[in-house]
Amino acid sequence: MKAVDFFIIETEKTHFDSDGSIILIDKFENQAKVRQYAKVVGVPRKYKGKVAIGDTLYFHFNTTAFSIDNGNKKESQYHIGDNRFIVPDNMIHFAVNKKGKTLFFKDQMLLKQVKETEEVTPSGIILTIPKPKIEFKKSSMKGTVTVLNEDMGDVAIGDIILLSKYSDYEITMENGEILWLVDFDSMLAKLDE
């Protein structure tokens, strides 16, 4: 199938844990509940890239997210029927081909969050208390590079990166792993740890 200007994706279900029951979504939890990946079933007519039918496309959660309007389910503006959606260029993050290779559309990388560790004295006193997510985002963040765009210079898989605050975009991979999608420009430093 050739789309005029968009990728066409097909998903088994648009939300995690949706068994037909009502899912209440607010703007802060929407991203975590919406599946952000689906199989490519159509490519743009003039597309010359490496993504092919059958690959997995990762996209912005608004692509498949529905809303509730006066008690009625309102489909995404990108919904074209059944479980199919169009994905505009500005909503695409990356793709994973059938061989498992990640194909980035921009200068981005995937990181796994480096969690703060607690130190406990022999008497049981906690020296470092993990901050709630909102407080954590107010400071700089650290992540370990797990998947890298080929053109990232001296950054390598396994490097620990210091990021500017609010620079991550949390994405749930098809295997259930939660990673941060980060623009290369958001990297403040590569740390030696």
Q: Domain check: are 6 and 93 in the same one? A: yes
Q: Domain check: are 7 and 67 in the same one? A: yes
Instruction: Please tell me the distance from the alpha carbon of residue 102 to that of residue 148, in angstroms, as a whole number.
Output: 8
The model carries a pTM of 0.78
Q: Domain check: are 151 and 93 in the same one? A: no
Instruction: Please tell me the distance from the alpha carbon of residue 47 to that of residue 162, in angstroms, as a whole number.
Output: 35
Q: Domain check: are 99 and 131 in the same one? A: no
Q: Domain check: are 14 and 97 in the same one? A: yes
End of a domain among 104, 122, 141? 104
Q: What is the pLDDT of residues 169-178, one digit of tens each?
A: 888 898 989 8
CATH code, 166 = 2.30.33.40
Q: Domain check: are 163 and 186 in the same one? A: yes
Q: Domain check: are 25 and 100 in the same one? A: yes
End of a domain among 87, 104, 121? 104
Q: Which helix (DSSP H) or strand (DSSP E) does residue 137 occupy?
A: helix 133-138
Q: Domain check: are 156 and 181 in the same one? A: yes
Q: Is the pLDDT of residue 98 over 50?
A: yes
The number of distinct structural domains making up the chain is: 2
Q: Please give the pLDDT value at position 138.
A: 45
Q: Domain check: are 89 and 45 in the same one? A: yes
End of a domain among 104, 136, 160? 104
Residue 108 structure tokens: 């981005």
Q: Which of 141, 138, 192 is nearest to 162 (CA)?
A: 141
Instruction: Determine the structural domain holding residue 156 and report its residue range.
Output: 108-191
Q: Is the pLDDT of residue 18 over 70?
A: no
Q: Is the pLDDT of residue 140 over 80?
A: no
Q: Domain check: are 119 and 59 in the same one? A: no
